Chains A and B, each alone.
Chain A
Amino acid sequence: MISIEELSKVFQVVFDDDELTVTEAYTANDVAGWDSMTHVLLLSAIEEKFGIEFNQKEIRKFQTVGDLLNSINSKL
């Protein structure tokens, strides 16, 4: 199980912002710079960091950071 704090650290690296903390309710609109260009960068960084792999189908379903966290934890 990874925590939201651990996930926040990946966000900090991808969005180059040490202060950034995310909550499970966050969506792409709540994080500056989280657009279609950075979305896949974020997913790749998560895959690498936690040694998991997403598939096309599930990435379409992610709406919130909570969805992302649940998916990661289901793969660990």
Chain B
Amino acid sequence: MNYTRPIFILFALPIVVLVNFILPARFRKYWIALLSIGGLFLTQPYYLIFYSLLVGINYGFAFLNSIATRKELKVNWPLILIVVIDIGLLVFFKWTQSFSFPLQNFFSVRFPTTHEHPLEWIFPLGLSYTIFQLLSYQMDLSSEIIEVEKDPIRFVSYSLFYPKMYSGPIQRYDTFKPGLDNSAVNIENINRGLRRFILGLAKKVLIADVLVRYIDPVFAMKNIAIPTLHAWFILILLAIQIYYDFSGMIDMALGLAQILGFTLSENFDYPYISKSVTEFWRRWHITLGAWFRDYVFIPLQFRVRKIKGFPIQSITVLIFLLTGLWHGFDNHFIAWGLMLGMVIAIENTKVGKKISQAWKPLQHIWTLGIISFSWLVFRAPGLGFVYRYLRNLLGLQGEIPVHPFSETKPYPIFENSVFIAALVGILFAMPVYPWLKEKIKGFVQEHQKWYWVALIADSLLLLLLLILCVGMIVYNAPLPGVYDKF
């Protein structure tokens, strides 16, 4: 059950908060595992067996892996085998997702069918995040950073933790374990978690989902021909939408986890204020970047360190190619990864260092320009579309039809809501919120009599946001997150 659904927000969430709060500590591990399995059951019951096998195999292999590590075997076969199995499964499902693989009932699983897509594979919810978590667990075991988790119930909670199944983050075991050992369920964390959940919901529903209704029809056009200004405007909206969608989902995940007494890793740190694409990728999807850094980039670089003249930057390009493939095997994801990898490789050469000495506004323009273009490649249905869209950006689109969105979907006249959502989106993509919070905190500390006014105003504002969000969802039906499909 996706947590932007009204039934989750209005019905399931209050029950979860209440049960979680009153449940005695000794039952908590069962409760967290139950929530995770229950969440999966309500979303994709047909993948329960698959996930049980995946988690079970990893649970078993972890013991073999840790024995091999302790005995300091020259080749850690259990580790190699489980890495091959996990990556193999991820590749298999990515392949079927990208190329509509024609093998249906492979796991004796019945897939829901629609008229448009008769018998199509459905990607297992959160598989990319889960597999990367399990891989990090196995590799951390072999590095002796962590110890094997003996309790299968706790291992299920780690592997399939409900809040992270939609959009991540990719959580390492050593940062998840404290929540399992001593979960911090208290009023303070419930309060903060709920606040973060509502703010995340608002980012997703009031900004990203307002904008996406204007973006989707454009990306659904076969022979795109729209006014040049419109094409540029959509490019800006896309950059705002992807950020608010993904980071909103992450805020909801982190908020939910906090309510349950867990602290998950942050995935965003105001990426759009970056002065280089390298910096952007340290602030965007942080847990994925850190995963590739620790498990692929540094080990590979370390291995070739003694080879004189080895082109280190080729590893950077490889890492981003893999980042692209993590999203899917479609040609535009590959192009997206390669493009970012090459830009970052260039930024880290001597030529690129000159960019970091340029006038600061130019550095921001460079970064935002590259990133906005990269989102076009990311979001496009294919590379042909990117080429046609570029022609639109340059005014080479040819004749613009009167009803480019067909008779059923009339040409969208931008409403005020789009401009408001876009402007608010741009404003809060900068660290305005923490700055404002600090200012108000400072003011209230100096003027104690305003304490209650600030507290009530703050709570009312959040309540208003929640009502607005629920209203929007009920009225418009919730939309899936951009990162739900990975």
- A40 engages B302 (CB within 8 Å): yes
Residues of B near A59 (CB, < 8 A) are 298, 302
Q: How far is the CA of A57 from the CA of B142 in the complex (A)?
A: 8
Quick one: given A56-B299, A60-B145, are A44 and B305 in contact (CB under 8 Å)?
yes
Q: How far is the CA of A56 from the CA of B142 in the complex (A)?
A: 11
Q: In chain A between 40 and 60, which residues have their CB closer than 8 angstroms to a CB of chain B?
A: 40, 43-44, 54, 56-57, 59-60
Judge whether B301 is part of the interface by a CB distance below 8 angstroms.
yes
Residues of B near A57 (CB, < 8 A) are 142-144
The distance from the CB of B142 to the nearest CB of chain A, in whole angstroms, is: 8
Residues of B near A75 (CB, < 8 A) are none
The distance from the CB of B368 to the nearest CB of chain A, in whole angstroms, is: 21
What are the interface flags for A32-76 relative to B under an 8 Å C-beta threshold, 1 for contact and 0 otherwise?
000111011001100000000010110111000000000000000
- B348 engages A37 (CB within 8 Å): yes
Judge whether B297 is part of the interface by a CB distance below 8 angstroms.
yes
Residues of B near A43 (CB, < 8 A) are 302, 305
Judge whether B294 is part of the interface by a CB distance below 8 angstroms.
yes
What are the interface flags for B132-149 relative to A under an 8 Å C-beta threshold, 1 for contact and 0 otherwise?
000000001011110000
The distance from the CB of B388 to the nearest CB of chain A, in whole angstroms, is: 36
Residues of A within 8 Å of B, CB-based: how many? 13
- B144 engages A40 (CB within 8 Å): no
- A40 engages B143 (CB within 8 Å): no
Q: What range describes how many residues of B lie at the interface? A: 10 to 19
- B302 engages A36 (CB within 8 Å): no
Judge whether B110 is part of the interface by a CB distance below 8 angstroms.
no
Q: How far is the CA of A61 from the CA of B142 in the complex (A)?
A: 11
Judge whether B293 is part of the interface by a CB distance below 8 angstroms.
yes
Residues of B near A37 (CB, < 8 A) are 312, 316, 348
Residues of A near B299 (CB, < 8 A) are 56
Q: How far is the CA of A43 from the CA of B143 in the complex (A)?
A: 18
Q: How far is the CA of A9 from the CA of B176 in the complex (A)?
A: 37
The distance from the CB of B280 to the nearest CB of chain A, in whole angstroms, is: 13
What are the interface flags for A2-33 relative to B under an 8 Å C-beta threshold, 1 for contact and 0 otherwise?
00000000000000000000000000000000
Residues of A near B293 (CB, < 8 A) are 36
Quick one: given A36-B293, A43-B305, are A61 and B298 in contact (CB under 8 Å)?
no
The distance from the CB of B67 to the nearest CB of chain A, in whole angstroms, is: 16
Residues of B near A56 (CB, < 8 A) are 143, 299, 302-303
What are the interface flags for B279-310 relative to A under an 8 Å C-beta threshold, 1 for contact and 0 otherwise?
00010000000000110011101110110000
- 5 A-B residue pairs with Cβ-Cβ distance under 8 Å, sorted by A, are A40-B305, A44-B305, A56-B302, A57-B142, A61-B144
Q: Which residues of A contact B (CB under 8 A)?
A: 35-37, 39-40, 43-44, 54, 56-57, 59-61
Q: A44-B305, A60-B143, A60-B294 given. 7 additional CB < 8 A pairs?
A: A36-B293, A36-B297, A39-B301, A40-B302, A40-B305, A57-B144, A59-B298
Closest 6 CB pairs of A and B: A60-B143, A40-B301, A36-B293, A44-B305, A57-B143, A40-B302
